[in-house]
Amino acid sequence: MLVPSTLRHLAAATVAMLALGCSTGPAPTPPATTILFVGNSFIYGEPSGAEPLVKFFRPSSVTDLNDSGIGGVPALFKAMTEQAGLHYQVSLETIPGASLGDHYDKKYATIVKPYDLVLLQSYSQLDKRKAGDPAALIKYTGLLADGLRAQNPQVDIRLVSTWSRADQVYKNASPWYGRPIDTMALDLRRGYDAAAAAHRIDHVIPVGEAWSRAIADGVADANPYDGVAPGQVNLWAPDHYHGSAHGYYLEALTIFGNVTGRDPRSLGAGEPVAREIGIDAATAGALQAVAAAQLAAQGHGGRH
């Protein structure tokens, strides 16, 4: 039995611990970083060929603000961050074939909330009516950025620059027909850079250039219309427009490296995301190396 003096000492010690903010329990978990992906099928994964594995990848792990049941690249990113021991709360707002102007006109109230981080990805040719023209991208990047900053002045806004479309380079009349495969990605990047410079945005995520690097390094085939060379992968879906599972995986790796600052190779060639979408370990490792090299080539995080 404890004597009264002992009880008094225990009570005093407890009060002192509380006064010092001491706790015998586990430290509280820091709040998750909230991140919103805004884009189209180049973010969510068009379901042709193997791509349902991407579009419907772990949809319950993210919040689809349109209630479409989509996982897509945001869910790939979420799974990668969990492997890295990071804590992100991931949401997405996507519309097929949309530009940022479409998102502004149709989903402004859905998008403009107090997020910590927002990624914006626009139409694959910058402008539906005037391919390669960045004027609309610049305009609507600014309008969305203004709204997001009004909700959270510290919001980190980043732009996602997309890839060269094989159908526009090899088959269809376009500004890029007959030109080297990396030309379209570089032109898109210049448009995104202009939008970033006009609206105080520090990061353009070089997804399209990562695709071009995969081709230049011999990891991926340059022209899906003439077959895929042995030992290489096809980054495009069967429509030669959207990404394959390999293409979307490379996109997710590049975004992961840019946003988190982690080397994509730290995930390891045998990591489960690649396996779950049908990518073997050797190819996963090669694509991780491509993403890491592209981010390193542009400095920390792929700044523009």
pLDDT at position 104 over 50: yes
For the segment 100-117, the average pLDDT, to the nearest whole number, is 98
For the segment 270-285, the average pLDDT, to the nearest whole number, is 97
Confidence of residue 298 (pLDDT cuts 50, 70, 90): confident
Task: For the chain, give every domain's residue range.
Answer: 30-302
Q: What is the 3-state secondary structure (H, E, C) of the chain?
A: CCCHHHHHHHHHHHHHHHHCCCCCCCCCCCCCEEEEEEECHHHHCCCCCCCHHHHCCCHHHCEECCCCCCCHHHHHHHHHHHHCCCCEEEEEEECCCCCHHHHHHHHHHHHCCCCCEEEECCCCCCCCCCCCCCHHHHHHHHHHHHHHHHHCCCCEEEEEECCCCHHHHHCCCCCCCCCCCHHHHHHHHHHHHHHHHHCCCCEEEEHHHHHHHHHHCCCECCCHHHCCCCCCECCECCCCCCECHHHHHHHHHHHHHHHHCCCHHHHCCCCHHHHHCCCCHHHHHHHHHHHHHHHHHCCHHHEC
pLDDT at position 42 over 90: yes
pLDDT at position 4 over 50: no
221-250 confidence digits (pLDDT tens): 999 999 999 999 999 999 999 999 999 999
pLDDT at position 123 over 80: yes
Q: Residue 51: what pLDDT? A: 59
For the segment 191-219, the average pLDDT, to the nearest whole number, is 98
C-alpha span between 88 and 78 (Å, rounded): 7
Which pTM was predicted? 0.89
Mean pLDDT score of the chain: 91
C-alpha span between 31 and 87 (Å, rounded): 8
C-alpha span between 43 and 63 (Å, rounded): 14
pLDDT at position 9 over 50: no
Q: Residue 30: what pLDDT? A: 76
37 touches 76 (CB < 8 A)? no
For the segment 110-128, the average pLDDT, to the nearest whole number, is 97
Q: From 294, 259, 210, 240, select the one nearest 78 (Cα to Cα).
A: 259
Bin 126: left if φ > 0, else alpha if -120 < ψ < 50, else beta: left
Q: Residue 25: what pLDDT? A: 60
Q: Residue 26: what pLDDT? A: 64
Q: Residue 303: what pLDDT? A: 46
Q: Residue 24: what pLDDT? A: 54
C-alpha span between 199 and 193 (Å, rounded): 10
C-alpha span between 162 and 28 (Å, rounded): 39
Measured over the CA atoms of residue 144, residue 150, residue 152 and residue 153, the dihedral's sign is positive
Q: From 193, 183, 178, select the one nearest 163 (Cα to Cα).
A: 183
Q: Residue 235 contacts by C-beta under 8 Å, 6 or more apart in sequence?
A: 163, 211, 214, 215, 220, 221, 243, 244, 246, 247, 250
C-alpha span between 188 and 201 (Å, rounded): 16
153-190 confidence digits (pLDDT tens): 999 999 999 999 999 999 989 999 999 999 999 999 99
Confidence of residue 49 (pLDDT cuts 50, 70, 90): low
54-89 confidence digits (pLDDT tens): 999 999 999 999 999 999 999 999 999 999 999 999
Confidence of residue 46 (pLDDT cuts 50, 70, 90): confident
For the segment 268-277, the average pLDDT, to the nearest whole number, is 97
For the segment 197-218, the average pLDDT, to the nearest whole number, is 98
Q: Residue 155: what pLDDT? A: 98
pLDDT at position 116 over 60: yes
What does the block give as tokens for 172?
């269809």
Confidence of residue 16 (pLDDT cuts 50, 70, 90): very low
Integer-rounded Cα radius of gyration of the chain: 23
CA angle 44, 282, 184 (to 5 degrees): 45
Which CATH number is 30-302 given?
A: 3.40.50.1110
